[in-house]
Amino acid sequence: MGIKERCAKVIDWFEKNMSRAETELCYTDPFQLLIAVVLAAQCTDKRVNLITPTLFNAFPTPEILASSNEDVIYEYIKSISYPKNKSKFLLAMAKMLVASYAGQVPSNIKELMKLPGVGRKTANVVASIAFGIPAIAVDTHVFRVSNRIGLTNHTQTPIQTEYVLTKHIPKKLWTKAHHWLILHGRYICIARKPHCYNCGLKEFCDYFSKNMKGENI
């Protein structure tokens, strides 16, 4: 089965079985979403959601966050992964938003990537979710699931994966597809031992065909 045909079948399955797919991060505006996505790097959304309410309450605007310091910010986020680095990123990011963007989160992906701590994945997430700009952000789940199913022909890097996915998935579905693949990877196609027995995509899955077909699952 080729990539084009497999993509069509996977999209059809998701449309029928996961018609609503969205981020699990809690936020109320682009600034909060930007912070949450930065914090979620190598950390679970569940953990991030536990600490962001008090963080957002203490720093509701880029101006207030920019006037703080790394040690203060650290106390709010110390329970997540890499809190020292992320404290530095958040402070520098807030200062740049104030100095270069009048305290507003830019919607342009290239502008977003200029912010400290913001790579292509984060920029794509913020642009697509907060501003409705079509994009497929490739995180570890999207990368793993896409390659396992066979949607990307075993690409080696996130940027290669993004290129192939955007080539074969209709643009109007890019943002939704991002969430489909993340949620599937988070709860079904997990890293160490995918739940193939509970996966509705196994009929179209390259990994299942090569490694699991014929097993009693």
Q: Looking at residue 76, which CATH number applies to its domain?
A: 1.10.340.30
Whether 139 is catalytic is yes
- Total structural domains within the chain: 2
26 is in an annotated binding site: no
**Choice among 9, 45, 139, 167 that is catalytic:** 139
Instruction: Assess whether 101 and 42 both reside in one domain.
Output: yes
Instruction: Assess whether 146 and 110 both reside in one domain.
Output: no
**Choice among 16, 71, 78, 121 that is catalytic:** 121
- What is the DSSP annotation of the chain? --HHHHHHHHHHHHHHH-S-----S--SSHHHHHHHHHHTTTS-HHHHHHHHHHHHHH--SHHHHHTS-HHHHHHHHTTSSSHHHHHHHHHHHHHHHHHHHTT----SHHHHTTSTT--HHHHHHHHHHHH--------HHHHHHHHHHTSSSS-SSHHHHHHHHHHHS-GGGHHHHHHHHHHHHHHTS-SSS--GGG-TTGGG-HHIIIIITTS--
Q: Going residue by residue through the chain (217 aa), what tens digit of pLDDT does each one get?
A: 889 999 999 999 999 999 889 999 999 999 999 999 999 999 999 999 999 999 999 999 999 999 999 999 999 999 999 999 999 999 999 999 999 999 999 999 999 999 999 999 999 999 999 999 999 999 999 999 999 999 998 889 999 999 999 999 999 999 999 999 999 999 999 999 999 989 999 999 999 988 876 554 4
7 is in an annotated binding site: no
pTM value is 0.91
Question: Is residue 217 included in any domain, yes or no?
Answer: no
State which residues form the domain around 177. Answer: 3-21+136-212
